[in-house]
Structure 1
């Protein structure tokens, strides 16, 4: 496809009012420290946030390019399971380490969730859940999204 065949990126596309950016990509690993060290040593990425999410049975580290940690950037999220039967533990058992999800930053999680359900897409949770750093999240079922687990992330109000 040539550039003159591409759609106008400013065109009015239904649903586009909700998606602000790619928020992060999630990488599943059994060894959080080794994976964080790999991204630091190979690419100069630095950890900008770490937390344990007991609800999802995961410990996670958010990585960003050094020196570019204060703007609204796309991050890499390293995810390690707290238990083998956690979602990340099951993912590692089934698929091994690697890309686990694509997260989109959205302006209104409730509105886009309603829109997606109206289109027949399944979300993993009936209601949004707490995610990283006070964000609210939900996921589009990978069977409804071409095999990709898509996380929807709404930042806390006022950010």
Structure 2
């Protein structure tokens, strides 16, 4: 494996996608309010954003880890309806890790680069994500079973 600090081939490969880092980790939960309370009480996380996203079929909350504004975040996702994607996930697998989200500079460019590499994306064009971000997802069959979200902040 190439060392990406050398500016060699690994760095060039990532540059084509515009990968900036890990944005958040998504966790599917059956009850958003109970999950927020648990993470705040047990881990001391701070809920920094909540919203309902009918397009994605979820109620969601972003919880920050650590004292700084740029700390890592956990996204809690609860189903809006019994037929939503998160509801189906909970039915099949139960509560738990649902996705990892990578922050990208330009989600359209990242999608194009990944398609050129033979990767299947869930949406033809990016959709609205948390707090007005633009998102798309890499199909888990192409990532070893892990749902990968690409996030371009608003």
TM-score normalised per structure 2: 0.92
Give me the whole-angstrom Cα distance separating, in 1, the residues matched to 2:121 and 2:3.
Answer: 28
Structure 2 regions of 5+ residues with no counterpart? none
Structure 1 regions of 5+ residues with no counterpart? none
The answer to whether residue 27 in structure 2 is matched with residue 31 in structure 1 is no
Q: 2:119 aligns with which of 105, 118, 121?
A: 121
Matches within 5 A, 1:148-159: 148-156=146-154
CA apart distance, 1:6:
7.0
Q: 1:81 aligns with which of 76, 79, 82?
A: 79
Are 2:66 and 2:72, in contact at CA under 8 Å, matched by a contact in 1? no
Which residue does 2:63 correspond to in 1?
63
* Deviation readout 1:78-104 (Å, 9 max, x if unpaired): 000001110100100111000000000
Aligned to 2:12, the other structure's residue is in SS state coil
Give me the whole-angstrom Cα distance separating, in 2, the residues matched to 1:128 and 1:14.
Answer: 24
Which residue does 1:93 correspond to in 2?
91
Aligned to 1:124, the other structure's residue is in SS state coil
CA apart distance, 1:74:
2.1
CA-based RMSD of the aligned residues comes to: 1.5
Which residue does 1:9 correspond to in 2?
5
Q: 1:132 to 1:8 in 2, by over 3 A?
A: closer
* Deviation readout 1:49-85 (Å, 9 max, x if unpaired): 00000111100000003532x22x3210000000111
* Between structures 1 and 2, the one with greater helix share: 2
Give me the whole-angstrom Cα distance separating, in 1, the residues matched to 2:151 and 2:65.
Answer: 20
Are 1:15 and 1:112, in contact at CA under 8 Å, matched by a contact in 2? no
